[in-house]
Amino acid sequence: MKTPLKLAVQKSGRLSDASLNLIKECGITFPTRIAKLKAHAFNFPMEFLYLRDDDIPGYVADNVSDVGIVGENVLLEKGVNLEVIERLGFSKCRLSIAVPKEFEYHGVQSLQGLNIATSYPNILGKYLEKQGITAAIHEISGSVEIAPSIGLAEAVCDIVSTGITLVSNGLVEVETILESQAVLVSRPDLESEKRQVLEQLLFRIRSVQTANNSKYILLNAPNHSIEEITNMLPGMRSPTVLPLAQEGWSSLHSVVKEDDFWEVIERLRGAGAEGILVIPIEKMIL
């Protein structure tokens, strides 16, 4: 058995479920009760470390963990030197400046001289400096959204995902500083044996991601449309075409990208396709 690759994941919160779900989709099984700090995967040379997201970059940098799944917001705030191996496409959020809805905001200049509460002093500091704004940054570790109502600050800089937290605290978003999502990070100096395990993991992650972004599509079409439809649905190499029992008709099987889906469906119908079935794909190896 290879030396296990240590992967740090968030114990609970924004990234936790999606991170563990991705690992499961990669066919890696592990104890489901996160009662301990550490757990071994049952069928893959990997060990999990369940940590607070804010601690993950530091633990990876300090060799406690080899790789980690963390938000770009946390990574950037900590400013540690790690290699971003892959952007994972989940836990999307943004870091924004918000003010009470009564505030008369006329662009970044309105932030001049204010007190701004945040858990992201480094990112905010750099942003304000770039904008040529001088403001007092008050670092607080949580519940940033209540700072204006208790008189601690006139503005906040915080993570926004659905926007519910802002609305329910009477705040409006005025500037977006950073768009963030979950990333897989690694120490830059990973030993070759661990790098091999990481490559294996990455291969699986990419197969899952490609599959999630694609659908298997089956349809019936008159034979004279097959060429036209083949051009619309190139699939992995080319579509499978099977004759139907009914003379002059065929069944076409292919793969379509989730993003192009609705547009392609319209065009397929225009070309005479019918009985269109669209099925999720679990894994996809290109």
Binding site for ligand PRP (CB under 6 A): 13-14, 119, 142, 144-145, 158-165
CA distance 33 to 41: 13
Residue 162 touches which of ligand PRP, Zn ion, none (Cβ within 5-8 Å per kind):
ligand PRP
Per-residue DSSP letter, 62 = T
Q: From the CB of 252, what's the least distance to ligand PRP, in Å?
A: 42
Nearer to Zn ion, 47 or 53 (CB): 53
The β-bridge partners of 275 are none
Closest distance of CB 53 from Zn ion, Å: 5
State both tokens at 117.
């509460």
Q: Which is nearer to ligand PRP, 165 or 250 (CB)?
A: 165
CB neighbour list of residue 216: distance below 8 Å, 6 or more residues apart: 253, 254, 255, 278, 279, 280, 281
The 3-state DSSP class for residue 69 equals strand
Of 162 and 192, the one with the shorter C-beta distance to ligand PRP is 162
- From Zn ion, ligand PRP, none, interface partner of 142 (C-beta below 5 to 8 A by class): ligand PRP
Going by the DSSP 8-state scheme, the letter that residue 2 receives in this structure is P
Structure-token pair, residue 122 = 């480094």
Evaluate whether 257 touches 214 at the Cβ level (below 8 Å): yes
Angle, in degrees to the nearest 10, between helices 192-212 and 16-25: 90
The site partner of 118 among Zn ion, ligand PRP, none (C-beta below 5 to 8 Å per kind) is none
- Given 53, 55, 72, 158, the residue binding Zn ion (CB under 5 A): 53
Give min distance, CB of 121 to ligand PRP, in A.
14
Residue 56 Cα distances to 175, 184, 251, angstroms: 27, 11, 50
State in angstroms the smallest separation of the CB of 117 from ligand PRP: 11
55 belongs to the binding site for Zn ion (CB under 5 A): no
> Distance (Å, rounded) from C-alpha 223 to C-alpha 237?
20
CB of 166 to ligand PRP, least distance (A): 6
Listed ranges 46-54, 81-89, 92-100, 258-266: which one lies at the site for Zn ion (CB under 5 A): 46-54
Number of residues this chain uses to bind Zn ion (CB under 5 A) = 1
